Structure 1
């Protein structure tokens, strides 16, 4: 990686945005986040700097709208899909990120362009994990919508920060078990972080 592409030394792009996602995920999974930062060829200082720049863009004077911040950082979306939510027709914008080839970062915008949701989803055509029991739910292996589908009915709940969600559901502890146990799964940016029985 050249110094021109290192966080803090040039334009804020997909690498820097990926570091922003990792900064929040490190709260639950510091080991996985640390490994990912090293895989990207940067250090924790660059992760902190990328987060500082993103927060300044989001909350500073003259801050752009959320969707324009994403377009500025990530460029033109790989996909723009219509999404119907009740009677409203919305748009889902999706971008590829350097760390997760099988996932896309998705921003759902409502009428008028306000951002309603922002999270990681499975890429079109990419195989998702087979989720049959709680034993299959390992950190970073699946997205919130995959868990909700696998263990329906599931109840979404707000998490402890704007980019965090919880999902309450019942599932067998192991494949083939008859007993179903209530679980709370924690997600950051839509990616599973931990499972609490």
Structure 2
């Protein structure tokens, strides 16, 4: 019986492929361009996602925070944050594919990670979001859209890594439009727009 080959470590590159795999459902063209920049093929992306899912669902899987530390290394920053009544820590890791963004994990005092998504890097300029036309795929994060078009209403995502926001935004003519924006890993994927009644 042949010896079992050791599995290669799961790397930051593999993690970026996991992020892209979920985004491919909405923006295959952008994902393909990103894959080419990373120098990997579709099979590499599928394999990275398969391995990630295996880690998530292993009988003795590590905590989310331990998993991210093992894959991404030590975070570039750890910042105390208060959200409503909850004190937590925000851990940030760089993501080479999106140098202006960071992968953020919010960790409760008991060590449980309760939110994991892409956010704008501290000090990086955010997009100017004034109209529906500014809402291009991959142009903004959940919190940027929420601030630009407040008030917003959260929408249930179609998967654990997906979020949605409903809000009103003007189009180029200034007419109010009802918008439903979909985000994957915190990054805008698409917006459905209709005229406000």
Q: Which TM-score bucket, shorter chain as reference?
A: over 0.9
1:35 aligns with 2:33: yes
1:186 aligns with 2:164: no
- List structure 1 runs of 4+ shifted beyond 2 angstroms: none
Considering only aligned residues, what root-mean-square deviation do their CA atoms show, in Å? 1.2
Q: Which runs of 5+ in 1 are unaligned?
A: 1-7
Number of residue-to-residue matches in the alignment: 188
1:146 aligns with 2:144: yes
CA deviation string 1:35-79 (max 9, x = no partner): 101110111111001001111011012111111111111000001
Secondary structure of residue in 1 paired with 2:99: coil
Secondary structure of residue in 2 paired with 1:72: helix
Alignment of 1:23-102 (within 5 A): 23-102=21-100
Secondary structure of residue in 2 paired with 1:182: strand
Secondary structure of residue in 1 paired with 2:8: coil
CA shift, 1:11, in A, is 1.3
1:87, 1:170 → 2: CA distance?
A: 28
1:157, 1:186 → 2: CA distance?
A: 9
2:41, 2:23 → 1: CA distance?
A: 15
1:45, 1:9 → 2: CA distance?
A: 16
Counterpart for residue 160 of structure 1:
158
Secondary structure of residue in 2 paired with 1:120: strand
Counterpart for residue 124 of structure 2:
126
1:21, 1:139 → 2: CA distance?
A: 14
2:24, 2:85 → 1: CA distance?
A: 38
Which protein shows a greater Rg?
2
* TM-score in terms of structure 2 length: 0.93
- 1:196 pairs with one of 187, 192, 195: 192
1:98, 1:16 → 2: CA distance?
A: 12
1:29, 1:15 → 2: CA distance?
A: 19
